[in-house]
Amino acid sequence: MPGKHLAPRLLLAAIVSASSLAIAATSPGSPPHASRPAGGSSREGALSHLPPPLRLAELAPAADPQVLALALSAVRCAQAEGTGTTARRLAVIDYSRSSLQPRLWVFDLASHKLLYHELVAHGRGSGGDTPTHFSNEDGSHASSLGLFVTRDTYSGHNGYSLRMDGLERGINDDAMARAIVMHGAPYVNADSGRQMGRLGRSWGCPALRSAVAKPIIDVMKDGQFVFSYYPDQAWLAHSALLHCAASRTARTARTGTGGNPDAS
């Protein structure tokens, strides 16, 4: 691992460890299908189907297990806040990898299956073969990091496309305004990519091979999650979604309310 990535990797490991401990500390220890108390919320139901990180790692052995654990932690936090509570699928993009490698994984969280492992392009403003720069600014033509929830589909300049709504303030929350969408593109082509030394690049969108774009978009539309990762130290250190599990546990320890803001 290059030296420049050592500190972010250590930070990633620390976040994953803290989140795992927080989840274990707040787990009731009951079987997954155990009955819930009367009045259980839809948020609790949403969290109940999430597989453990090790299960995703088993389904996708080529993926970084810490990145998968981080993605699940962010999803858990978003759903605990009431966002994406009906989501059943998660796409994970690891932008720390070469664009010539399949670096997109699409999981069915409800059935615990890997649906796709595919190439995905990044924005031209993010760099060459392996991106190094990410932005939330319009006109940057760069990809954005963090957790997104998908919205509706439409047919536009890039054909069948899927809108993505960024959930992290200052990191990706301008995605809708920037028209950052998932779409197919002819430049996502392994053969021509090998000749150029990288895939073609988008204007910030996670572009897919044309042959698989429609089926992937169809399983990812309407309220599913997309998680884009790169070992960016500032994002890892300050993202609210990446730290909320540990924060809730600390708050619970101080107040003794079990994390329920309405508890007295």
Domains (range + CATH), the chain: 3-24+56-255 (2.40.440.10)
The end-to-end CA distance of the chain, in Å, is 49
- All residue ranges of the chain with pLDDT < 50 are 1, 26-40, 249-250, 252-253, 257-264
Q: pLDDT at position 246, please?
A: 57
For the chain, what is the radius of gyration of the CA atoms?
18
CB-CB neighbours of 101 under 10 Å = 15
Q: pLDDT at position 10, please?
A: 73
DSSP result, 212-246: HHHHHHHHHTTT-EEEEE---HHHHHH-HHHHHHH
Q: pLDDT at position 28, please?
A: 44
Q: Which residues contact 24 (CB under 8 A, 6 or more apart)?
A: none
Q: pLDDT at position 7, please?
A: 73
Q: How far apart are CA 59 and CA 1, in angstroms?
A: 24
Q: pLDDT at position 37, please?
A: 36
Q: How far apart are CA 106 and CA 88, in angstroms?
A: 11
Q: pLDDT at position 89, please?
A: 98
Q: Token digits for 172?
A: 């990706």
The one-letter amino acid code at 106 reads V
Q: pLDDT at position 155, please?
A: 98
The one-letter amino acid code at 12 reads L
